[in-house]
Structure 1
Amino acid sequence: MKLIQNIAIRFLLVPLLLVVSCDNDLAEINENPNGIEPSMADPNLLMSTVMTGLATSTTSRGYANDTGNAAQYTQRDSWSSNRYDWETGSIWSSNYGLLRTNKVAYDRAVELGLPFHEGVTLILKSMLFGNLTDYYGDIPYSDALKGTEAEGELPAYDTQETVYKGIIADLETASSLLGADSYEGVVEDQDVFYGGDASKWQKLANSLALRYYMRLSEKLPSFAEAGVTSTLSKPLISDIDDELVLAYIGGTSNQSWPNSGQFGTASDFHRVKPCTTMTDKLKELEDPRIDIWFAPVEVPTKVVPPAEVPGGGPVAEVDGIRYITDEVLVDEDILGNLYAIYSPDTYAAELEAGKKLIDTSSVYVGLPVAVSSIDPYEYNYNADGSRGGTNAYVSLMNEVFNQKDDGGNLLKARLFSYAELSFLKAEAAVRGWGSDAEGNYLEGIKASLEVWGVGDTYSDYITNTGVAFNGTLEQIMEQKWIANMFNGDEAYLDWRRTGLPDLSAGPFAREDVMPLRFIYPSDELNINTTNYNAGAASLEETPYSTTDPNDSPYARPWIVQGVSTPW
């Protein structure tokens, strides 16, 4: 696997479109000294820029931002409410920017007769458009990249169904282009994903097609079933070495894990906390990955009878342990409020009743969903809290994510894992569209444990209560959710598709349910108004979208119209 390159340098190499004046006297002024004409561009350089941009943006969303919070892997404290008050998201402009670069690379590949590059750019196009339609619904697609061919025209929106089917068609074309034994013009160092290995790109194309066929499993089950059964017979990602990943090697901010404190402030790292949805589940399953992802709480808390509190007061901290008298749970005059012991089953009701929570977990303490909207840095009776994210009574992420070194080969953008592929096959089998549900389920668990360095726990882990295979879709999706840690996109979209795992929006979220989409950017409303209105009109109103115009995070895009999930 190729290490991530210096993105700052790489951007200087991106061939930029020249702005050429009709007045020859201005031509020299309007030339970009770092760019060349698109007709002279090297598709290898362009593709690597698209790859790194796609990888880093996916990890940024899935670690500590929109989808990482939505998948309930992490929560943020300090100026962050985690209320699911979604707006435009960050991917509209970034993905369309990458798509324009990718289009130049594709056109050059076709012009130069380079089928490897043509196939790879079709895969990248599919992933970028996939992100966009996943999160917005109807989007500019067929007309989106025409540029001067449609000068003066604003791009129409294609239906979400059209986009998904177009993505699948492009992936199948890419697979056929990548089936040869050798190719011309491949610069291995510029292929930061697979080093020019066409067979791995072909496996990825087929595996992505399987992902998108399954994305349509609830909306178009017959179409999805036919596509899944056909795709399962094709070459697919077959081991960890085939995964679509990109390593964060550190050294510069652009090459480091998101929110690392090495190139910002320590608070960038401290503000990201584990979410109790994940910590509770990992503790319940005795999952060894909890030690890799999260740091033990600096100061554990014990609630004891008054006589056992050192010094006789209501609170004391001795030898790295905080003692709190159990009278705080029954006497409102002590510590100024009524407190309750955190429990995943009752915490929402306790918070709504005005109580504050004390988490007595001895090792890992996470932030409950949306709790930051009421006490962003005081959770778990943190009397010394600050908006810098400091809280000795709540766990941090494991120090490895602070990127002080190369992360021990753990810090990677994980865009498509072998574990995900295995769980897709397990799900297909449970639905009657494939075979060997148990074998693929266990293979998914094994792959995830191995990539996080705890493969030696596999034999014991799969016998744990709740992990030993029971044949249900719920269990498959739960383990897939765990394995997709830091790929919040897929975890969230799986939840939207199946309602699994059963994620709650939390007691202080904007609405009682989690959102279904991002809203379109304001530029679309203001500039591409007619087409924007058509896209917004395709959305279906829900009881939770009535406070917005029809372009609401709680309106149903086509893919969840007429289906019972996720709510």
Structure 2
Amino acid sequence: MKSVKNIAILFLFVPLLVIVSCDDGLVEVNENPNGVESSVVDPNLLISSVMTGLATSMTTRSYSGDTGAASQFIQKDSWSNNRYDWETGTIWNKNYELLRTNKVAYERAVELGLPFHEGVTLILKSMLFGNLTDYYGDIPYSQALNGSGGLEGERPAYDTQETVYRGIIADLETASSLLGGSSYQGVIEKQDLFYGGDASKWQKLANSLALRYYMRLSEKLPAFAQGGVTSTLAKPLISEIDDELVLSYIGGIDSQSWPSSGQFGSASDFYRVKPCTTLTDKLKELEDPRIAVWFAPVAVPTKVVPAAEVPGGVDMVEEDGIRYINEESLDANDYAIYAQATYASDLQAGKKLIDTSSVYVGLPVAVSAVDPYEYNLNSEGSRGGTNSYVSRMNEVFNQKDDGGNLLKARLFSYAELSFLKAEAALRGWGSDAEGNYLEGIKASLEVWGVGDTYSDYVMNAGVAYAGTLEQVLEQKWIANMFNGDEAYMDWRRTGLPDLSAGPFAREDVMPLRFIYPDDEINNNSANNSAAAASLEETPYSSTDPNDSPYARPWIVQGVSTPW
């Protein structure tokens, strides 16, 4: 018999999250399935470790990793050049490890006649394979978890991206049927870290995920997507904030705390994550109250003033917590004041940028060919050090925990569901675009603690409903803060919002995918080569082998987006 491997490491950290929709508070899971034979293991124990792994890896990517930067929510200012020089990402090995655990849980659920667990594991399988095909394209799918691929000595073949997406949707629809009952056996509520054993919420999630993936295919297979969206909108969906797929970080040790918090390692882990100007500029333009929740005011604001107003009559000086720069010194020093429309050309002309934002100063995307720790004339100028002239993330993200209030892995929100429905209505596939658009905004404001600003906010210029897809996806992008996966996939699908790669990016456009990991290329070379050959070369991928971040996977072949 095969034994369950790699569970101990995952399972040690099961207590790291709490069920946000239940009253029980801290989840305690005391049993460790390490070494337990797969033929006798309780599937309740296995699904907990899959849930925590899925949630924490997404948050890490989205807060301080590839997808947070790609979605232009954040930028790193040290040990990261933000040039979109993507390699393999961090998804492949982690997701396949979780999928192997999840498969054992599924097989045990089928063997024991536990439809609740069978449905839950199909949903988890869909989310994990969804990540993989989203970022890589063709992947091992139907044979991926069979050990040798079905025959001794063989490696698993790759399925086409279309096959994987259709399989994901089929599994979600099966899961929805399995979870439509009123009574289930063998459910241990505290082991269900997402919904505490509530099958109705799992069914809503299955249908909502199907809606997400049908919409993922809106540009590539519009007729298929339309039919799926129309039918799915008639099913039970996430309908309130309490239905969201979120888990709270409880702190205590590093693995249980918000990523890059700096509480258990180097303080620079926290300092290095900076807000991106793409987001801060938009939030300031819209007078968006979420800016104060996510980001801290800059420690030392910069003012460019006439020489007579500079204390001491020098070109640059700090006094009373403000840095003053003589405007007459700008040209002589090749300084330029940051502006969204001109910053890239200024940098390419050799200028050094000065950001005179009085409250929130972001870090522009791909602002430097090397680490951008010197941005905004940072005199400290050391890797991993602080920069008093660029805003940090709000201090809440540097805490061990915040009582389960804001520090949550946000895998699927009610706001996202509302914006999906608004988009469907704009495409003629649903109804009430305006109502769903406003509901999405309201939900996002409420979960970030600024719900009392809703009435005023939705009257602001640029926020008041205008009936455009651009506006709906812009608000969805903002609401998906800390879910960089979905924000990036929306951009790749639609080209919205209009994200620039930045002046020092590797290419003039943003990448479209991760490249396959070296282990897969070396150990499953024949199948991997066939998958790579299915990618479509672009003007930006010609300097790479066909497995390029700038090659088009199936889902963006033959479509005009995102570039």
Q: TM-score range by the shorter chain?
A: over 0.9
Q: Return the match for 1:412 from 404, 408, 412.
A: 408
Change (3 A) 1:376 1:11: farther
State the alpha-carbon separation in 2 of the partners of residues 500 and 202 from structure 1: 30
1:71 corresponding residue in structure 2: 71
CA contact (8 A) 1:74 1:273 kept: yes
State the alpha-carbon separation in 1 of the partners of residues 344 and 286 from structure 2: 22
CA contact (8 A) 1:67 1:488 kept: yes
Which SS does the other structure have where 2:418 is aligned? Answer: helix
Matched, 1:395 2:396: no
State the alpha-carbon separation in 1 of the partners of residues 331 and 94 from structure 2: 52
State the alpha-carbon separation in 2 of the partners of residues 315 and 525 from structure 1: 54
State the alpha-carbon separation in 2 of the partners of residues 375 and 86 from structure 1: 16
1:28 corresponding residue in structure 2: none
Q: Return the match for 1:340 from 336, 339, 361.
A: 336
1:475 corresponding residue in structure 2: 471
1:242 corresponding residue in structure 2: 243
1:364 corresponding residue in structure 2: 360
State the alpha-carbon separation in 2 of the partners of residues 195 and 150 from structure 1: 40
Structure 2 unaligned residues grouped into runs of 5+: 1-12, 18-26
CA contact (8 A) 1:11 1:49 kept: no
1:334 corresponding residue in structure 2: none
State the alpha-carbon separation in 2 of the partners of residues 292 and 425 from structure 1: 27
Change (3 A) 1:407 1:507: farther
Matched, 1:559 2:560: no
1:6 corresponding residue in structure 2: 15
**Deviation at residue 373 of structure 1 after TM alignment:** 3.0
Change (3 A) 1:244 1:408: closer
1:539 corresponding residue in structure 2: 535
State the alpha-carbon separation in 1 of the partners of residues 16 and 459 from structure 2: 44
CA contact (8 A) 1:401 1:407 kept: no
CA contact (8 A) 1:210 1:228 kept: yes
- Identity percentage of aligned residues: 81
1:274 corresponding residue in structure 2: 275
CA contact (8 A) 2:366 2:504 kept: yes
Give matches, 1:142-161, under 5 Å: 142-147=142-147, 150-161=151-162
State the alpha-carbon separation in 2 of the partners of residues 207 and 550 from structure 1: 35
CA contact (8 A) 2:16 2:250 kept: no
Q: Spell out, residue by residue over 1:187-228, the C-alpha distance to the aligned partner (whole angstroms, 9 max, x if none).
A: 000100000000000000000000000000000000000000
- Aligned-partner residue type, residue 199 of structure 2: A
**Deviation at residue 152 of structure 1 after TM alignment:** 2.0
State the alpha-carbon separation in 2 of the partners of residues 189 and 385 from structure 1: 48
CA contact (8 A) 1:477 1:500 kept: yes
Q: Spell out, residue by residue over 1:148-198, the C-alpha distance to the aligned partner (whole angstroms, 9 max, x if none).
A: 654322100000000000000000000000001010000000100000000
CA contact (8 A) 1:80 1:373 kept: no
**Deviation at residue 403 of structure 1 after TM alignment:** 1.7
Change (3 A) 1:156 1:196: same
State the alpha-carbon separation in 1 of the partners of residues 371 and 90 from structure 2: 26
Which SS does the other structure have where 1:38 is aligned? Answer: coil
**Deviation at residue 389 of structure 1 after TM alignment:** 3.5
Matched, 1:314 2:319: no
State the alpha-carbon separation in 1 of the partners of residues 169 and 502 from structure 2: 35
1:120 corresponding residue in structure 2: 120
2:455 corresponding residue in structure 1: 459
Q: Spell out, residue by residue over 1:464-504, the C-alpha distance to the aligned partner (whole angstroms, 9 max, x if none).
A: 00000000000000000000001000000000000000000
Which SS does the other structure have where 1:362 is aligned? Answer: coil
Structure 1 unaligned residues grouped into runs of 5+: 16-33, 332-336
Q: Return the match for 2:546 from 543, 550, 560.
A: 550
CA contact (8 A) 2:401 2:407 kept: no
2:298 corresponding residue in structure 1: 297
State the alpha-carbon separation in 1 of the partners of residues 318 and 124 from structure 2: 54
State the alpha-carbon separation in 1 of the partners of residues 350 and 62 from structure 2: 31
**Deviation at residue 516 of structure 1 after TM alignment:** 0.2
Change (3 A) 1:185 1:213: same
CA contact (8 A) 2:245 2:413 kept: yes
Using the TM superposition, name which of 92-101 and 365-374 deviates more. Answer: 365-374
State the alpha-carbon separation in 1 of the partners of residues 175 and 67 from structure 2: 28
Which SS does the other structure have where 2:39 is aligned? Answer: helix
1:19 corresponding residue in structure 2: none
2:96 corresponding residue in structure 1: 96
- Aligned-partner residue type, residue 252 of structure 2: G
**Deviation at residue 252 of structure 1 after TM alignment:** 1.0
1:285 corresponding residue in structure 2: 286
Which SS does the other structure have where 1:413 is aligned? Answer: strand
State the alpha-carbon separation in 2 of the partners of residues 408 and 212 from structure 1: 29
- Aligned-partner residue type, residue 392 of structure 2: L
Which SS does the other structure have where 1:75 is aligned? Answer: strand
CA contact (8 A) 1:6 1:254 kept: no
Greater than 6 Å deviation, 4+ residue runs: 8-12
**Deviation at residue 7 of structure 1 after TM alignment:** 5.1
State the alpha-carbon separation in 1 of the partners of residues 538 and 102 from structure 2: 37
State the alpha-carbon separation in 2 of the partners of residues 256 and 7 from structure 1: 8
2:9 corresponding residue in structure 1: none
1:80 corresponding residue in structure 2: 80
Q: Spell out, residue by residue over 1:4-39, the C-alpha distance to the aligned partner (whole angstroms, 9 max, x if none).
A: 843599999564xxxxxxxxxxxxxxxxxx411100
State the alpha-carbon separation in 1 of the partners of residues 209 and 247 from structure 2: 17
Q: Spell out, residue by residue over 1:79-111, the C-alpha distance to the aligned partner (whole angstroms, 9 max, x if none).
A: 110000000111000000000000000000000
Matched, 1:222 2:223: yes
State the alpha-carbon separation in 2 of the partners of residues 301 and 185 from structure 1: 62
State the alpha-carbon separation in 2 of the partners of residues 362 and 470 from structure 1: 30
Change (3 A) 1:549 1:12: farther
Matched, 1:60 2:60: yes
**Deviation at residue 383 of structure 1 after TM alignment:** 1.2
Q: Return the match for 2:430 from 434, 437, 444.
A: 434
Superposition CA RMSD, Å: 1.5
2:492 corresponding residue in structure 1: 496
Q: Spell out, residue by residue over 1:268-294, the C-alpha distance to the aligned partner (whole angstroms, 9 max, x if none).
A: 100000000000000000000000000
**Deviation at residue 374 of structure 1 after TM alignment:** 4.0
Change (3 A) 1:235 1:180: same
State the alpha-carbon separation in 2 of the partners of residues 533 and 381 from structure 1: 47
State the alpha-carbon separation in 2 of the partners of residues 104 and 136 from structure 1: 25
**Deviation at residue 147 of structure 1 after TM alignment:** 2.3
2:105 corresponding residue in structure 1: 105
CA contact (8 A) 1:114 1:185 kept: yes
State the alpha-carbon separation in 1 of the partners of residues 30 and 257 from structure 2: 19
Q: Return the match for 1:525 from 521, 526, 532.
A: 521
- Aligned-partner residue type, residue 50 of structure 1: V
Using the TM superposition, name which of 509-518 and 363-372 deviates more. Answer: 363-372
